[in-house]
Amino acid sequence: MGVKNKKGVIPIMIKYIYSFEKLEAWQNANKLCKSIYQITSKFPHSEMNGLTNQMRRAAISIASNIAEGCGRKLGKEQARFYQYAISSSFELLNQLIIANEIEFIDSYSYLETRKYIQIITFQVNSLSKYTLSASAKTI
């Protein structure tokens, strides 16, 4: 990892890793986001402001809401953002189904991505339930 300038890449030292970066759910959501960018890069150019943009935004939203949830102090607030991430997962799945039906993606990519969305949704749901149960114990 590094910062790019005119002379090349300058390595930077990361001194702190935030709590969300340690979560397997966030790591998987981050990988999913990169995968969605690769998949949608093959969509017709005419879809750049349509399905391509919507799928990318939904994928980014999953990882972003997990990260934002980690930044909240109260369990209920954390769980709310985890639920937003789950909702974005459903939105992305819907868009993935449409992309498959109109043959923008092949069946293998569709099934693999769908499976990955399912895994992330289960992970985030578990995180949400844990957060709520942990906050209920401290009240």
DSSP class per residue in 71-100: T-SSHHHHHHHHHHHHHHHHHHHHHHHHHH
Is residue 73 within 8 A of residue 60, CB to CB? The reply is: no
Chain mean pLDDT for the chain: 91
- pLDDT, one tens digit per residue, over 125-134 is 999 999 988 8
pTM of the full structure: 0.85
Among 88, 95, 94, 92, smallest CA distance to 68 is for 88
User: Rounded distance, CA 75 to CA 78, Å?
Assistant: 5
For the chain, domains (ranges, CATH) are 24-137 (1.20.1440.60)
Distance of CA 88 to the CA centre of its chain: 8
Least confident residue range of 9-13, 84-88, 133-137: 9-13
- pLDDT, one tens digit per residue, over 23-57 is 999 999 999 999 999 999 999 999 999 999 999 99
Length of the chain: 139
Among 105, 71, 66, smallest CA distance to 87 is for 66
Does residue 136 surpass a pLDDT of 80?
no
